[in-house]
A and B are shown apart, each in its own frame.
Chain A
Amino acid sequence: MKQQTKDKNKKLKPAKKITRPVLAYLDNAAATSLDKRVLKAMTPYFSDIPANPSSLHAPGQAANAALKRARKSIAEHLNGHEDEVIFCSGGTESDNLAVLGTISAAAKFIKTNHGADAVPHVITTAIEHHAVLEPLLHLQKTGVIELSLIHSDKEGLIAADDVISAVKKTTVLISVMYANNEIGTLQPIADIGRGILKYRKQNNSAYPYFHSDACQAAGYLDLNVEKLHVDLLTLNGGKIYGPKGTGLLFVRRGTKIGAQILGGGQEKGLRSGTENVPGIVGLAKALEIAQQERIKESTRLTVLRDRLIKGLLKIPKSRLNGHPIIRLPNNVNISFMDIEGEAAMLYLDAKGIACSTGSACASTSLDPSHVILALGMSYEAAHGSLRFSLGRQTTREQVDRVIKYLPGIVERLRLISPVSLDMSHFTNNQ
């Protein structure tokens, strides 16, 4: 008996503490820490209220009430309705539901109106997140859809006109991210939305629908769906100081969409599975704080962002990826010639600075970042890219720490590197 208790204790031992202190966490686009205020809002729902919100007894109804409050708060921030908020497990699931759900619901419509051989046409961008691109590429490969990829300019901007002029009679969905997760470029969502509305009106058609992934934008930009003219909007709790594993899809009333997860019929039948009540409460609180503080935080971080960009571009043979101004206030993405990103990232890590890289070596794929390649940058430049994503905890001292240490790290890695290319190799000339 005693032995058992001992084993149990051993199992529950907390994870080993990080021995090296993180002095500058600059990877907030990958994950944000949980805001203490969010944790406080969530805490009662972990243990005090045990019940399933679908249960009719009092504890169940207490959980249900919390769910309703969260839904109401989120709907207000989006300027939408409560029944338009579908909770799910995060950005990837939300993107998948938006893409796969609308396409599956539209397939019959396309066949009825455009002939048995017709397939739905979808428009997205070459710099989209994998959570949108991969399901679409899969459907294209299997012949379920016809896909058009819109290319950005060399600074990562998508032209609204390019998107609208790609629309055809069979187009059912257009998906363009609000702000890019790698290079931070902001897309003209409202302009695209207006163009789509105009097309639908002129052609007296319900299609195409407009989806936007706003995971990275939520902390800094206006999420008013009436101003953005989106039919579907994706949000992720784990990127806005809320709990990881939480997210939502805004689905405008009247939008035809098929469920991808079937079961007990929760979330209007669009996302079965018992609701994650503490997670949803946390997501609502996180969104509330993010939207309340977004203007103040944007102003503060823009100064730090530009300071970091200016400081790092002093390093020889470096180049900013993405647009210098039309970008997220927290995003800095720079390529350094002749070095490989993972090596630089790990040298920074040793100095207590956490960032990320678009190098293939840091990913599970063979190719470096598809976003940086889509800007017309060379493979060499993509391998040598670093992304710093600032956040609420970021200070000027932390930014200056990067400016202090990175030049020496780049210099050292260049000393070890047998490669010495000139600036013309930044861009892909093939």
Chain B
Amino acid sequence: MNQSQKPLDITARQSGQSGFYSDVVKEHFFHPQNFMENEEGYEADGMGMVGSPACGDVMRVWIKVDPQTSRITDCKWKTFGCASAIASTSMMSVMLTENGGMTLDQARNIKPQDIMERLGGLPVRKIHCSVLGDKALRMAINDYYRRQGEIDKIEIEQGRVIDKVLKITDHDIEEAVLEGADTLEKVQNKTKVGTGDPSCIPEVEQLIRFYKEKYFG
């Protein structure tokens, strides 16, 4: 059977590859692209950070922007986390800067799914907890506009931030419930919500009930 005709299943390991991670993930993990080797002297136009070391993932993203074209000309990052966390931030930096760089509007719309697709998929339990780079990026873009004085272009994170440490929004929880997570434990397995900021757990439980009723009656 022709592999390319099969629909791409981004949640499963790529068939035909041995091991836990895809070859692309391994490539970016062992040879990370664009990571910030030396912060000194690097003049970023915007910076964003998400996560905490206690949760097991921290991502920091720096961008340089061409003000004429609003395109990202450079992206640097640092990540504390597992192989998929490092590989996904590395891949995101490549996606942002290839082909002359993404515009800020395009960059804002990068989703974890887009990064995973380029990585050739991630093991199921790695998906939500390790791909946080897009959130750090959106913070960096807002930071850029703030520094530029273009306050009107700052976009508050779509949805409401529930977990202030991990920047997990009600949308993330909605998505997890839609994917079948119907208990706090299952939603946590997908999103890690509440591990950095346990005070939000009662609200998370409420949201799970709300979305369960909304979608599953």
Give residues in A with beta carbon < 8 Å to B.
16, 338-340, 342-343, 346-347, 350, 359-362, 364, 366-368, 378-380, 383, 415-419, 421, 425
Which of A339, A343, A364 is packed against the most chain B CB atoms within 10 Å?
A343
Contact of A419 with B53 at beta-carbon distance under 8 Å, contacts A16-B18, A350-B30 already known: yes
Bound together, the chains give a CA A367 to CA B35 distance in angstroms of: 27
Residues of chain B with a CB closer than 8 A to A380's CB: 53-54
By a beta-carbon cutoff of 8 Å, the part of chain B in contact with chain A is: 18, 29-30, 32, 35, 37, 49, 53-60, 78-83, 85-86, 125-126, 129-130, 188-189, 192, 195
A367's nearest neighbour on chain B, judged by CB, is B195
The A/B interface has a contact count, at CB < 8 Å, of 74
Residue contact B81 to A343, C-beta cutoff 8 Å: yes
> Per a CB cutoff under 8 Å, which of A342, A360, A417 touches B78?
A417
Contact B58 A419 (CB under 8 A): yes
Interface residue from B18, B60, B130, B192 paired with A366 (Cβ < 8 Å): B192
A362 CA to B54 CA, complexed, in Å: 15
Which of these, A338, A362, A379, contacts B80 with CB under 8 Å?
A338
Contact of A361 among B29, B53, B58, B130 (CB under 8 A): B130
Given that A416-B35, A418-B58 are contacting pairs, would A359 and B53 also be in contact in the complex, using a CB cutoff of 8 Å?
no
Is the beta-carbon distance between A366 and B82 smaller than 8 angstroms?
no
Residues of B close to A425: CB separation below 8 A: 53
Pairs across A and B, CB under 8 Å, 15 listed: A338-B80, A340-B80, A340-B82, A346-B29, A359-B82, A366-B189, A367-B195, A415-B35, A415-B37, A417-B79, A418-B60, A418-B79, A418-B80, A421-B53, A425-B53
The 10 closest A-B pairs by CB, nearest first: A361-B82, A418-B78, A379-B54, A418-B60, A342-B82, A417-B80, A380-B53, A419-B80, A419-B53, A383-B56
Closest to B196 in A: A379
A348–B197 alpha-carbon span in the complex (Å): 32
A339 — which chain B residues lie within 8 A by C-beta?
Answer: 80
Chain A nearest Cβ from B157, distance in angstroms: 20
Shortest Cβ distance from residue A182 to the other chain B in the assembled complex, whole angstroms: 17
Residues of B within 8 A of A383 (CB): 53-54, 56
CA distance A143 to B81 in the complex (A): 38
Give min CB distance, B40 to chain A, whole Å: 14
For A343, list chain B residues within 8 Å (CB).
29, 81-83, 85-86
Q: How distant is B8 from chain A, measured CB to nearest CB, in Å?
A: 24
Nearest chain A residue, comparing its CB with the CB of B191: A366
| A120 → B minimal CB distance (Å) | 27
Given the interface pairs A350-B30, A418-B78, A418-B79, the reply to whether A361 lies near B86 with Cβ below 8 Å is no
A340-B56, A350-B30, A364-B125 known; A416+B78 contact, CB < 8 A: yes
Task: Indicate if the CB atoms of B60 and A346 lie closer than 8 Å.
Answer: no
Tell me the bound Cα distance from A421 to B18 in angstroms: 36
A367 to B56 Cα, complex, angstroms: 9
